[in-house]
Amino acid sequence: MQALQVQLEVGVDPAEVGRARRWARSRLAGSGIGADEPVAETLILLISELVTNAVVHTGCPAVLRMLFPVAPAAPVRVEVADNSVSPPAPRHAQRDETGGRGLELVDGLADRWGWQPEGAGKQIWCEVDRAALT
């Protein structure tokens, strides 16, 4: 499948999460996904959660990638790669906890998600079917 791939290097500073969201919004607009489309907010939330996990839990720089397929009905893919070999560890946050829901949100919002080794670390990815949210 042909796709346009864009990527951003993300540092270990938590402020990088906001920068990643702003960057992603501009790339969504450039890909033809309007800010008012439901898929746009879903993708931004997924990016925010995955980048936050990479920054907070690994202590390593990361690379955020977005893959926009040429076919309009094909899924949009988000990947976050880091240098940590530790696999993602989903957990169930208690009702009064303010954090710990990142992968639960990813599981609930993405149509598919997973992880795989990449280089010296790993890549966590998710896909959103554009057609399902229109």
Contacts of 5 (CB under 8 A, 6+ apart): 65, 66, 67, 68
Q: What's the pLDDT at 101?
A: 66
Residues 87-133: tens digit of each pLDDT: 887 666 566 655 556 788 999 999 999 999 999 999 999 999 987 65
For the chain, the structural domain boundaries read 3-133
Q: What's the pLDDT at 35?
A: 84
Contacts of 123 (CB under 8 A, 6+ apart): 79, 80, 81, 115, 116, 117
Does residue 64 carry a pLDDT above 80? yes
Helices (H), 1-134: 16-31, 38-58, 102-109
**What number of other Cβ atoms are within 10 A of residue 119's Cβ?**
10
Does residue 34 carry a pLDDT above 90? no
Instruction: Supply the mean pLDDT for the chain.
Output: 89
- More confident site: 134 or 85: 85
User: Stretch 10-16: mean pLDDT, rounded?
Assistant: 94
Q: pTM of the predicted model, to two decimals?
A: 0.89
Specify the length of the chain in residues.
134
Residues 66-100: tens digit of each pLDDT: 999 888 778 999 999 999 998 887 666 566 655 55
Q: What's the pLDDT at 76?
A: 94
Fold of 3-133: Heat Shock Protein 90 (3.30.565)
